[in-house]
Amino acid sequence: MLVINIANNDRGRSFTATCDGISKTHSRKDPVPPLCRRLIDRGHSPHTMVMVVRGTTPIFKPRSLGAWAAYDIVDDDNRGLIRRRYRPLPDFSGDADIARKPNAQSRLCKEAA
């Protein structure tokens, strides 16, 4: 089981989630889901259970890494906290997988020229 520790920064205006040497800080979005996606990218199984704590106090029921990674929790000015299904944004060229392709950087430079 992985343990993600959450800390308040800047008088509660931003939050940092830390696990396995990786930290994510966000002010308008819960840092846990982006951190879970990063942990999966680093090779952790989406089925690994995760416990989220503040200090030593658990603040959410244990869930799988994949369950956390599937959603974003965003602070909306009009509606408060809302949970949205995560959808990766494509890069500016419209190709969502260009960063994973060989010679991606040179292709981006040529397209921009």
Structure-token pair, residue 54? 């503040």
12-66: per-residue pLDDT in tens?
678 899 998 998 888 777 889 999 999 999 999 999 999 999 989 999 899 999 9
Please give the Cα distance from 100 to 97 (Å, whole number). Answer: 5
Rounded Cα distance, 67 and 88, in Å: 16
What percentage of residues in the chain have a pLDDT greater than 70? 77
pTM of the complete model? 0.70
> Domain map of the chain by residue range?
2-112
How far apart are alpha carbons 104 and 91 in whole angstroms?
Answer: 11
Sign of torsion, CA 109 92 14 20? negative
